[in-house]
Structure 1
Amino acid sequence: MNTRQLSERTADLVVIGSGIAGLSAAVEAAEAGLSVQVLEAAETVGGASAMSGAACFLVDTPLQREQGIDDNVELALADWKLMGGPTADLEWARRYVTDSARDVYQWCADLGIQWNALDQPEGNTVPRWHLPVGWGRRIIDVVQARAEELGVAIRTGVTVNELLHSAGRITGVRTSTAGHEEILDASAVAVCTGGFIGNIDQVLKHAPQLRELPRVLAGGSPTAIGLGHDLLAACDAQFTHLDHLWVYPYGTPDPTDPSGARGLGIRFRGVSTEIWLNTEGRRFHNEFLRGGYSGTKALLSQPGSTAWMVFAASEAQHVMLIDNEYYGTPAGPHPSAMEHFWANSKHVRTGDDPVALARAAGLPTHAVIQALDDFNAAVRSGAAKDPLTGRPLAGLEEVNGKLVAIQLFPMAQKNLGGVRTGLECEVLDSSGEPIKGLYAAGEVAGMAGGHLNGQAALEGTMFGPCIYSGRIAGRAVARRAR
Structure 2
Amino acid sequence: MEIKKYDVTIIGAGIAGMVAAYECLNKGLKVLLIDRNTKEHFGGLAKLSFGGMALVNTPLQRRLGIKDSPSIALKDWHSFANFKKEDRFPKLWAEMYVNESLGQVYHWLYGFGLKFFPAVNWVERGMYQSGNSVPRYHVLWGTGHRLVERFQELLLQHQNVRKLEIIFECKVTDLIKENEKIIGCTAEKEGIKNQKFRFHSDFTIVATGGITGNLEAVRNNWYKPWGKAPNEMLNGSHPFADGLVHTAVSRLGGNVTHLDKMWNYAAGIPHPKPEFDHHGLSLIPCKSALWLDHTGNRIGPEPLVTGYDTNELCRRISSLEKPYTWQVLNWKIASKELAVSGSEHNPMIRDRKLFSFLKEILFGNHRLIHQLKKESDHFIVADDLQTLVKEMNHLNQDSSIDYDVIHDVIRSYDEMIKRGKSFWNDEQIRKIQQARAWRSEKFRTCSPKPILNANSGPLIAIKLRLITRKSLGGIQTDLESRVLDPLGNPIPGLYAIGEAAGFGGGGASGFKSLEGTFLSGCILTARSAAKSICSLK
Q: Deviations over 1:221-259 (max 9, x none)?
A: 34312232133233221111111112211112335559x
**Where does residue 476 of structure 2 map in the other structure?**
420
Matched AA of 1:299? I
Asked whether the 8 Å contact 1:385–1:392 carries over to 2, the reply is no
Sequence identity of aligned pairs in percent? 28
Are residues 132 and 405 of structure 1, via their aligned partners in 2, closer, same or farther at CA, if it must alter by over 3 Å?
same
From 65, 80, 85, the equivalent of 2:82 is 85
What CA distance in whole angstroms lies between the structure 2 residues aligned with 1:386 and 1:161?
Answer: 59
What CA distance in whole angstroms lies between the structure 2 residues aligned with 1:344 and 1:201?
Answer: 28
Superposed, 1:355-366 pairs within 5 Å as 355-362=386-393, 363-366=401-404
What CA distance in whole angstroms lies between the structure 1 residues aligned with 2:469 and 2:309?
Answer: 11
Asked whether the 8 Å contact 2:47–2:144 carries over to 1, the reply is yes
Are residues 249 and 272 of structure 1, via their aligned partners in 2, closer, same or farther at CA, if it must alter by over 3 Å?
closer
What CA distance in whole angstroms lies between the structure 2 residues aligned with 1:392 and 1:315?
Answer: 12
SS of alignment partner, residue 269 of structure 2: strand
Superposed, 1:360-439 pairs within 5 Å as 360-362=391-393, 363-376=401-414, 383=421, 387-388=425-426, 389=428, 390-393=430-433, 394=436, 395-396=445-446, 398=449, 399=451, 400-439=456-495
Q: Would you say 1:133 and 2:131 are equivalent positions?
A: no
Q: Would you say 1:148 and 2:156 are equivalent positions?
A: yes
Asked whether the 8 Å contact 1:47–1:223 carries over to 2, the reply is no
Are residues 126 and 336 of structure 1, via their aligned partners in 2, closer, same or farther at CA, if it must alter by over 3 Å?
closer
Normalising by the residue count of structure 1, what TM-score does the alignment of the two structures yield?
0.88
What CA distance in whole angstroms lies between the structure 1 residues aligned with 2:341 and 2:185?
Answer: 33
Matched AA of 2:44? G
SS of alignment partner, residue 305 of structure 2: coil
Alignment: residue pair count: 472
Asked whether the 8 Å contact 2:141–2:350 carries over to 1, the reply is no
1:29, CA displacement in angstroms?
A: 1.4
Are residues 336 and 354 of structure 1, via their aligned partners in 2, closer, same or farther at CA, if it must alter by over 3 Å?
closer
What CA distance in whole angstroms lies between the structure 2 residues aligned with 1:324 and 1:222?
Answer: 19
What CA distance in whole angstroms lies between the structure 2 residues aligned with 1:313 and 1:70?
Answer: 36
Q: Deviations over 1:90-145 (max 9, x none)?
A: 22101110011001111111111111130121211111111111211111111222
Are residues 29 and 377 of structure 1, via their aligned partners in 2, closer, same or farther at CA, if it must alter by over 3 Å?
farther
From 49, 55, 58, the equivalent of 1:52 is 49
From 175, 186, 194, the equivalent of 2:201 is 186
Q: Deviations over 1:411-458 (max 9, x none)?
A: 222111111112211111244321111100111111111010111111
1:79, CA displacement in angstroms?
A: 0.6
Asked whether the 8 Å contact 1:194–1:442 carries over to 2, the reply is yes
Runs (5+) with no aligned partner, structure 2:
126-130, 352-356, 358-365, 394-400, 437-444
Normalising by the residue count of structure 2, what TM-score does the alignment of the two structures yield?
0.79
Are residues 142 and 118 of structure 1, via their aligned partners in 2, closer, same or farther at CA, if it must alter by over 3 Å?
same
Matched AA of 2:17? G
Deviates more, 1:110-119 or 1:87-96: 87-96
Deviates more, 1:338-347 or 1:25-34: 338-347
Q: Deviations over 1:330-383 (max 9, x none)?
A: 5489x9999996567553433221222123224232343344445556666774
Asked whether the 8 Å contact 1:353–1:401 carries over to 2, the reply is no
What CA distance in whole angstroms lies between the structure 2 residues aligned with 1:293 and 1:30?
Answer: 39
1:48, CA displacement in angstroms?
A: 1.7
What CA distance in whole angstroms lies between the structure 1 residues aligned with 2:369 and 2:213?
Answer: 22
What CA distance in whole angstroms lies between the structure 1 residues aligned with 2:471 and 2:246?
Answer: 12
What CA distance in whole angstroms lies between the structure 1 residues aligned with 2:312 and 2:306?
Answer: 10
1:54, CA displacement in angstroms?
A: 2.4
Asked whether the 8 Å contact 1:252–1:407 carries over to 2, the reply is yes
Matched AA of 1:308? W
Q: Would you say 1:309 and 2:327 are equivalent positions?
A: yes
User: Superposition RMSD on alpha carbons, in Å?
Assistant: 3.1
What CA distance in whole angstroms lies between the structure 1 residues aligned with 2:346 and 2:66?
Answer: 33
Matched AA of 2:213? G
**Where does residue 174 of structure 2 map in the other structure?**
162
